[in-house]
Chains A and B, each alone.
Chain A
Amino acid sequence: MGSDGKKREGKTDQPSLEFSDPPPPFSLLIAMAMAIKLSLILLFFSSSLIPTFSLFEDQVGLMDWHQRYIGKVKHAVFHTQKAGWKRVVVSTEENVIASLDLRRGEIFWRHVLGANDVVDKIDIALGKYVITLSSEGSILRAWNLPDGQMVWESFLSGSMSSKALLTVPANLKVDLDSPIFVYSGACIHAISSIDGEYLWKKDFASEGSVDVHQLILPGGSDVVHAVGVTDSSQFDTYEIHVKNGGLLKHTSASFPGGIYGEILPISGDRFVVLDASRSVLVLITIENGQIHLEQTHISDLIHGSSGNTVILPSKLSGIFSLRTDNGIVFIKVTGEGKLNVMERVDKTVVISDALPHSEGEQAFALVQHGDGKIELSVRLVHDMSSNHLKETVKMDHERGFVHKIFINNYVRTDRSHGFRALIVMEDHSLLLLQQGEIVWTRDDGLASVIDVATSELPVEKIGVSVAKVEHSLFEWLKGHILKLKGTLMLATPDEVAAIQKIRLQSSEKSKMTRDHNGFRRLLILLTRAGKLYALHTGDGRIVWSTLLQSLRTTSQQCAGLKLHQWQVPHHHALDNNPSVLVVGRCGLSLSSPSALSIVDAYTGKELQNMGPVQHSTVQVISLPFRDSSEQQLHLLIDADKRAHLYPTTPEAANIFQRESENVYWYSVESEAGILRGYGVKKSHSSDTPPSEYCFETRNLWSVVFPSESEKIIATVTRKPNEVVHTQAKMIADEDVMYKYISKNMLFVATVSPKASGPIGSATPDESVLVVYLVDTVTGRILHRMTHLGSQGPVHAVLSENWVVYHYFNLRAHRYEMSVLEIYDQSRAENKDVLKLIVGKHNLTTPVSSYSRPEVTTKSQSYFFTHSVKAISVTSTAKGITSKHLLIGTIGDQVLALDKRFVDPRRSLNPTQAEKEEGLLPLTDALPIIPQSYVTHSFKVEGLRGIETVPAKLESTSLVFAYGVDLFYTRIAPSRTYDSLTEDFNYALLLLTILALVVAIFVTWVLSERKDLQDKWR
């Protein structure tokens, strides 16, 4: 408990003490009335049907978009020999294998492998199968090249883990049962490339602990060469028969110096490697069954070079490349085994593998980064002196340096040879260069989104010309007449197509200005490459992208961590553009220095670049305070538990000093099983912090979970910007329940340590799941519940006064979802309206986190069919609309589930009053209605997160799901009760009015005539 137990009043502007403001009686009444009205409205909408998110097939693309990515390319294999589709097969760091169209860069097919199934190597066999080796060389699969169907799969078991090598014979004779050779698990496996049948296996574990570095299959011979190292002090070569795996020859030579890195083949019988000190090159020559070693000091070859030498893994025959601190050096190995320095190039040059070119020539490409351009040169291995081809290509600055290059050649129509190069850039994008031009680009950095923020668009400038209005009015009318024709089934197929086109390409939705409904936004995405993208929600196009300089300045590996709203101008600083704060970390450990950057959300310019700052960042807290320029105050907590305030202005410091008493935060130490709460130390101690923006913190409370029985597996809090409309909840019989709404509620799930493994590793008796609701200001446990025989993984979402969590029930062997709702009992008596009016209620009594809350909870569990990857909940502008849970299933789809299905007050036989309230009868499982998949027939491959943003229109919530793919849509959980639907027919309305007017006139004339006749009678 806190050392300083002062009572603190709950005010709305406090950071962590935010109980929603107790509403005064009058507003409460209004709120109640609203709630009643709303429930009536909802009843009206939902009494007969359960609102599902549903879509007609022709509505696809109207308000949603789906983008498919693959991630940063690791390996690429071209397939261009045969006529037909020219394609390139790639594997990526997102564990994707894909076949891309070489002409346009589109995906022909794609497979996302499991998260643990990292692709080691890919190749093409027999000209028709893509071979992938994955899971540290234990799974070998063949995929049909044209359509991506898996043809066969082989599991390779080894005796110990080792690196994975794949060698596919290059000959294209299909009749020959050419085996594929794989080195993995300290064994060489031979597998038939036709059906994946296991041919033979040669275990090297019995040969001593040899570590094979290269597997070479000289063309035309029946022998596989394996070159390896034993205990890093002895070179070994093995010759193994292709047909039966018999060991033909084994030679070895000891090298006491030890080696560094990998052995690189130069030619069939020559290899090169660095010694352990990284100062001597060792040339290994195999001659007449003997190994000759030849050592050359690097300093003899390259003057003035020191340490950090690396042999680059590019395979260039007869040549190898060496990277030192000063640059890259190409070294030629002459026939006599002499090393000659050929050329020095800059350190940033990237080199491809050599490619067999015409008449036994070998060519390779190197690409050099210039200012706003890149220089691609292709050279022939035998003639290094001149460039075979040199092209300069303009390159966007925001793509950064070239990381990888793969080349391929083709024969032009005039029989000369051309080259195309596939390059992977620093921002993970993929480009194809051909004839000095970028043929296509793919922004595959978007496959690794880390964090998402949104931004408003600029306000539309006033001043619209009359002509434009007239034109648009005409267009509008025309569109609606077409639509009417469509509904009346009078439209011709051409017109139907035109209707669809109008609907999809309405210029309204992709405008770069703010709209009335708040549908048009910028999605700001931080990717693993350290690049920030802004996507328009209307059509998903990239508005701007910035490679963050603050994450590139040092040589260390910097990575973005978090994205926060920095400035959202509303009242005072309207001239300023909104901006976001990017927090990154330079280095791998938690105590590495952090990098901060503030980016303009409209233009993507880095406004402030606080490149590696002195302190580390473990946690970022957005404080609910703003300075006069509407910059949000942020606290960055470092590894030493010191708090650093941003922005570093005296004004911000003043605001913070004033409010620091009410700033609380918590940390979760999952390993140790401890939750800790912190506050800011008020007085400066003698050992003063380094600056006035740095504050000492004090530990207020700790909750220690017994490590022998509980292990923290999940923690969830409420979204800080969530709006709750009312604390009162109307239930049947005109009763009221008061939700316990606190922004300081933390949901913690723990399991018994035995059950923290995968499903099946623990018996039901030894696995216990315990869930807690903890108040993060006081550390008080508000509620604790035990699920016997259950285990993780736990996915949870906390909103308003409820938590929904998903876990695995081992007894039933099914997934379950539980709901936990927490209600405030201290206000339960405030039911008498009269009392409320006279003021005899306790609603305005101050709420303090230190007073013991009287809470009561309700809970219920249901079965849920699928595994879950992420859970989120819809959020709307005022919090009036009912909520839907958004469940990212194992099939990478997003399911919208009405919150009414997870209501703990559901019972088997609801009373009439409860039925009227809209309470559903209890079922043991949650329904999965296919029409309520918000992603409909799309998959968000590799789904990692679902973000929801309220639109300005109360009924609507914007949903963005990201993984390898991106998907955006907007959903209305209670249907769009506050606006007309997309397919509302204005023309029909006009027609009706017109008909009514005509009818009025006709009847008027008729009645006049009748009157006249009556008078004549």
Chain B
Amino acid sequence: MAAVRRSKPNPPTLLLLLVQLCFLSSSIATGNGSGYAINGRVKIPGFSDKGFGLPVKANNAKVILNGGQQVTFLKPDGYFSFHNVPAGTLLIEVDVIGYFFSPVRVDVSARNPGKVQAALTENRRGLNELVLEPLKDEQYYEIREPFNIMSIVKSPMGLMIGFMVVVVFLMPKLVENMDPEEIRKAQEEMRNQGVPSLANLMPRSG
């Protein structure tokens, strides 16, 4: 959820966050001046729905503000927060190996404290709560295709064998079935053209 709160966490953090579905405003953070807090959640389908616990893979998940200005980690329920963030337009990136997340543009308004707007930069989709979900899984390896006879046939060696089989066993059959005169005609034509033909190389028949 897109919610800017005081830097000082309120006790029923979770509950409050759940309530703050729309852009709730609160006063400017205390402490050294211009700091705001951004809270959000990373949701990985298939895992976070079951309640607590992120997948083991997400154990090393990182949330990165402005290309490394601040780096934070996910709590077991997927929540994260940045503190002491200056007002302005920021960029949040999520880094979980195996998933592709779109960076998120987050506007933290100084004039209107607490108002936060977020949008995915990849597809320009606005978010009305800062819940980040992967756009797709990332598969880093090619899938090895299971063995099939076609792959052998298609390979250069397979083609070689196939061609040989055709030449050795099918060609004589074809030649046998043809009219001897036609063959002679064809041979003569070939000779006239001066093109070396396969027929010359074939075993003399008839």
Q: Give residues in A with beta carbon < 8 Å to B.
A: 54-58, 60, 109, 111, 113-117, 138-139, 141, 147-155, 157-159, 185, 196-198, 487-489, 758-761, 793, 808, 810, 812-815, 865-867, 869, 890-893, 925, 928, 930-931, 933, 936-937, 939, 988-989, 991-992, 995-996, 999, 1003, 1007
Contact = CB atoms under 8 A, between A and B. Distances in A.
Nearest to B168: A1003
Contacts of A196: 9
Interface in B15-53: 29-32, 35, 37
B197 interface: no
13 contacts: A109-B59, A114-B69, A114-B70, A149-B76, A151-B75, A155-B7, A760-B87, A760-B91, A761-B86, A937-B98, A937-B140, A939-B97, A996-B160
A114 B76 contact: no
Contacts of B29: 157
Contact of B68 (A57, A114, A1003): A114
Contacts of B67: 759, 793, 808, 867, 890
A936 B97 CA distance: 10
B54 to A, nearest CB: 8
Given A197-B9, A759-B89, A867-B64, A995 B141 contact: no
Contact of A147 (B9, B32, B59, B69): B59
Most buried by B among A117, A149, A760: A760
B184 interface: no
Contacts of A113: 71
A439 B25 CA distance: 57
Given A151-B75, A760-B90, A813-B105, A931 B139 contact: yes
B102 A865 contact: yes
Contacts of B73: 111, 141, 150, 153
Contact of A992 (B64, B71, B141, B161): B161
A988 B157 contact: yes
Contacts of B164: 996, 999
Given A760-B87, A760-B91, A937-B141, 7 more contacts: A55-B142, A56-B142, A158-B31, A758-B66, A866-B103, A867-B68, A890-B93
Interface in B124-176: 138-144, 146-147, 155, 157, 160-161, 164, 168
Contacts of B100: 928, 930
A813 B160 contact: no
Nearest to B121: A814
A882 B141 CA distance: 23
A203 to B, nearest CB: 11
B81 interface: yes
Contact of B30 (A157, A761, A867, A928): A157
Contacts of A155: 7, 9, 37, 81, 83-84
Contact of B75 (A150, A812, A928, A996): A150
A999 B88 contact: no
B69 A758 contact: yes
A141 B80 CA distance: 12
A674 B83 CA distance: 38
Interface of B: 7-9, 11, 29-32, 35, 37, 54, 59-60, 62, 64, 66-76, 81, 83-84, 86-91, 93, 95, 97-98, 100, 102-103, 105, 108, 121-122, 138-144, 146-147, 155, 157, 160-161, 164, 168, 203
A454 B146 CA distance: 40
Given A760-B66, A865-B122, A996-B160, A157 B141 contact: no
Given A865-B103, A996-B160, A1007-B203, A933 B140 contact: yes
A759 B31 contact: no
Given A758-B69, A867-B67, A931 B203 contact: no
Nearest to A143: B73
B144 A989 contact: no
Nearest to B107: A760
A198 B64 contact: no
Contacts of A151: 75-76
A185 B33 CA distance: 14
A760 B88 contact: yes
B168 A115 contact: no
A198 B9 contact: yes
Given A157-B32, A759-B66, A867-B68, A992 B140 contact: no
A925 B157 CA distance: 41
B93 A867 contact: yes
Nearest to A936: B140
A793 B141 CA distance: 31
A989 B156 CA distance: 9
Contacts of B8: 157, 198
A56 B146 CA distance: 12
Contacts of A933: 138, 140
Nearest to B169: A1003
A989 B157 contact: yes
Contact of B142 (A111, A931, A991, A995): A931
Contacts of A812: 121
A291 B115 CA distance: 52
B64 A890 contact: yes
A406 to B, nearest CB: 26
Most buried by B among A54, A60, A153, A793: A153
Contact of B138 (A54, A141, A930): A930
A910 B172 CA distance: 49
Nearest to A941: B60
